[in-house]
Structure 1
Amino acid sequence: MTLRLRHRAAAGIGTPFLLVHGLSSNARLWDEVAVALAAAGHPSWAVDLRGHGESDAPKSGYDTATAADDLAAVIDALGLDRPVVAGQSWGGNVVVRLAAAHPKLPGAVGLVDGGWIDLHSAFPDWESCERVLRPQDIDGRPADAMRQWLESAHADWSATAKEATLANMRVRPDGTMERRLTIPRHLDILRSMWDDPPGPDLPRVTVPALLLPATGPDDERAAPVHRAAAALPAATVRWYPGSDHDLHAQHPDLLAADLLTLVRAG
């Protein structure tokens, strides 16, 4: 199996970054963050996880533990020395598992509105979770309709971020879309998140961790963030009140500046 990487070289030889997208997303959402990191002298690699983006889509392995092992294999293959590993949404959960299961690989972790997602605590049973979070079947819809929706829903995002979001789908020759990550595989990952929440892993993360939630400290959604920060041995929280879940798309420069603090911390 081959995972596709997007590499952003830097003039300096600073600490490298490995950037991990969320569920049904892709590496391109990190492009503008990677530009800012490279400008600060830090090379970066953003990975398309299996079944996502332009990576291979094997029949199995759509779970948090396998995704973390895939990241470990990427770090080893690239020869990265204690990189800062940042993950968004489900990617944050994957990064937590990586740091817990492979403690010698990351030098620090950035958790971008994820890493504390616990579906088992959020829903009374798996059937309720699946019913609420099952993605829409958008295969066959016009790609132009998605572009129009992105323009209206995310007017503050750059054209780069909007096109990166559109890349979560393939555009067929007839101008319609299809999901890169199929709905059954999406549900496999959701079921893994239900069965395997990050709580037990958090105390095992020995490296510095920066939590970057898209909420404020007093918001009702902040309780899991506070619990995760308390469980992590070395945690800092940088709040983004009133922001979108896709912080790396909405605030790439600000997010990059925050992630760079992990270089000093690690």
Structure 2
Amino acid sequence: MTTTSAASRTATVRANGIDIHYLEAGSPDSSDLVLLHGGLVSTNPLWDETPLSYGTHLAALIDRFHVIAPDQRGCGRTRHTGDERVSMSLLADDVAALIGALGLDRPAVAGFSMGGMIATIMAIRHPGLAGAVVNDAGCDIFDPGSKSFPMLREVFGGGLDATEADPDAVEAAFDADPAMRGFLSLIKADHDSAGGPGYWKIMLQHFFQAARHWPGYGVDDFAGIDVPSLVLVGDRDELSPVEDCVRAYRHLPRGQLCVLPDTEHVITAAKVAAIVDFLGRTTSWS
């Protein structure tokens, strides 16, 4: 284990056939919270100054929880090994295996964007393993007709019929927007520092494999998530529209819905406060 600060540490555990790198922070005596990052990023501290990282809000979270934040398979310092294509189900099974390997007892599992999708699919595939679930801005993928799929194939694959990621198309698309150009620079710096020069292209392939099509689970499957569940979204989120989140929430047996005003597809202090409040009120978990 490597100490990164007084509050956080990093470690690696063998689970589901791979070595999963994770950040651990907070007191082990607190309630466990498995925290899942969004697509294309990782737990690398370079993301902490962006609105795409829970690392920005770690201090608020560890005041209440014992946080375990893994790098997803193929991202950051968690390598994908073997010939199996990366899928949402595989990523969800990684989280389940991580929980087992660390001996966590019904932790809360929360994630943003792709992390929220993975948290939800994990809860569907492994009933009762989590004590509570938070899906922040990750409901669009559960609609087979979501506009997210063709948009993702267009941007990351270079065409609507793409079956593999196209790094050249990604560079062209991101270079056209100064803000996205900066995002791509962070992607390269993050993943190349972990996997070597050009590793960001390999990470991109793994991301594309998992996210380019419907994962096989729809909102009807949410009925099997019989633990306290929070659907969280900003009212201006164009990637995970409020309508998709409301539809998902209505299928949860023990669901709650929180829509934050004037908020896009980002992680904010208000979102983190909503997570802390939800889990604090979920007495059957905490």
So what's the TM-score if we normalise by structure 2?
0.71
Partner of 1:233: 253
- Given that 1:93 and 1:198 are in contact with CA atoms closer than 8 Å, whether structure 2 keeps it comes out as no
Partner of 1:182: 203
Q: 1:229 to 1:177 in 2, by over 3 A?
A: same
Which residue identity lines up with residue 78 of structure 2 in the other structure?
Answer: S
- Alpha-carbon offset, residue 33 of structure 1: 2.8
Q: What SS does structure 2 have at the residue aligned with 1:232? A: coil
So what's the TM-score if we normalise by structure 1?
0.76
Using the TM superposition, name which of 195-204 and 95-104 deviates more.
195-204
- Alpha-carbon offset, residue 35 of structure 1: 2.0
Partner of 1:45: 68
Q: For residues 137 and 254 of structure 1, what CA distance do their matches in structure 2 show? A: 34
Partner of 2:22: 5
Q: For residues 185 and 23 of structure 2, what CA distance do their matches in structure 1 show? A: 15
Partner of 1:206: 226
Q: For residues 167 and 8 of structure 1, what CA distance do their matches in structure 2 show? A: 24
Q: 1:72 to 1:164 in 2, by over 3 A?
A: farther
> For structure 1, which runs of at least 5 residues remain unmatched after alignment?
155-161
Structure number with the bigger relative contact order (C-alpha 8 A, sep ≥ 6) is: 1
Q: For residues 130 and 139 of structure 1, what CA distance do their matches in structure 2 show? A: 10
Q: 1:5 to 1:150 in 2, by over 3 A?
A: farther
Partner of 1:32: 56
Q: Deviations over 1:89-109 (max 9, x none)?
A: 122121111111212211101
Which residue identity lines up with residue 272 of structure 2 in the other structure?
Answer: A
Q: Deviations over 1:76-101 (max 9, x none)?
A: 11111111100111221211111112
User: Within 5 Å, which residues of 2 pair with 1:115-154?
Assistant: 115-118=139-142, 120-123=144-147, 130-132=153-155, 134=157, 137=167, 149=178
Which residue identity lines up with residue 81 of structure 1 in the other structure?
Answer: D
- Alpha-carbon offset, residue 188 of structure 1: 0.9
Q: 1:48 to 1:239 in 2, by over 3 A?
A: same
Structure 1's consecutive aligned runs of 4 or more residues displaced over 6 angstroms after TM superposition are 138-141, 151-154, 162-166
Q: For residues 117 and 246 of structure 1, what CA distance do their matches in structure 2 show? A: 17
Which residue identity lines up with residue 153 of structure 2 in the other structure?
Answer: E
Q: What SS does structure 1 have at the residue aligned with 2:35? A: strand
Which residue identity lines up with residue 137 of structure 2 in the other structure?
Answer: D
Q: For residues 81 and 195 of structure 1, what CA distance do their matches in structure 2 show? A: 27
Q: What SS does structure 2 have at the residue aligned with 1:43? A: strand
Partner of 1:17: 33
Q: 1:133 to 1:189 in 2, by over 3 A?
A: same
- Alpha-carbon offset, residue 115 of structure 1: 3.6
- Given that 2:242 and 2:259 are in contact with CA atoms closer than 8 Å, whether structure 1 keeps it comes out as no
Which residue of the other structure, out of 102, 106, 110, is the alignment partner of 2:134?
Answer: 110
Q: For residues 26 and 194 of structure 1, what CA distance do their matches in structure 2 show? A: 23
Q: 1:140 to 1:196 in 2, by over 3 A?
A: closer
Q: 1:168 to 1:242 in 2, by over 3 A?
A: farther
Q: For residues 256 and 20 of structure 1, what CA distance do their matches in structure 2 show? A: 13
Verify: 1:80 aligned to 2:80, yes or no.
no
Which residue of the other structure, out of 180, 189, 192, is the alignment partner of 1:170?
Answer: 192
- Alpha-carbon offset, residue 246 of structure 1: 2.5
Which residue identity lines up with residue 63 of structure 1 in the other structure?
Answer: S
Q: For residues 53 and 39 of structure 1, what CA distance do their matches in structure 2 show? A: 26
- Given that 1:89 and 1:117 are in contact with CA atoms closer than 8 Å, whether structure 2 keeps it comes out as no
- Given that 1:21 and 1:87 are in contact with CA atoms closer than 8 Å, whether structure 2 keeps it comes out as yes
Identity %: 23
Verify: 1:257 aligned to 2:279, yes or no.
no
Q: What SS does structure 2 have at the residue aligned with 1:236? A: strand
